[in-house]
Structure 1
Amino acid sequence: MDYRKIREAIIEETSRTHVHLVEVLGDTITTRLLKDFPEVSQVKLRISKPAAFSDCDAVGIEFLVHR
């Protein structure tokens, strides 16, 4: 598996347009990785949004998607 290509795909998806919801971004990234990399059987992705609230360091969500 070429991790550089996976990294490039993630960078493309995260810099394409502004996304308001991390849930939408996570779904977009996991869909892209499963579509573009047939050797990937599962994607586990964590996205956090630092400083979203003043009373915590970050908020986030975790995705676990199987082919």
Structure 2
Amino acid sequence: MTADPERRLAEALRAQARGGGRPVPPPRAEPDRRPGMSVRTALLLALLGGGVLGTGLALLSLLAPGVLPALG
């Protein structure tokens, strides 16, 4: 009769070492990405917007002199 409790204890310890029968979640391939704009995209859009604005002001000052106020 002493073998039965020892066998059950050994089985319980083996099951606990294997994870107790609970499914182990698979490891994530990559961290979750938050929705929204990345910093790289924001900087690129700001650079393009500044280029368009600068080009527009340069053309305006060349094609229509006197429209923009003088800075000096």
Give TM-score scaled by structure 2 length.
Answer: 0.29
Considering fraction of residues, name the structure with more strand: 1
Q: Which protein, 1 or 2, shows the higher relative CO under an 8 Å CA cutoff with sep ≥ 6?
A: 1
Q: Which has the larger radius of gyration?
A: 2
Considering fraction of residues, name the structure with more helix: 2
Give TM-score scaled by structure 1 length.
Answer: 0.31
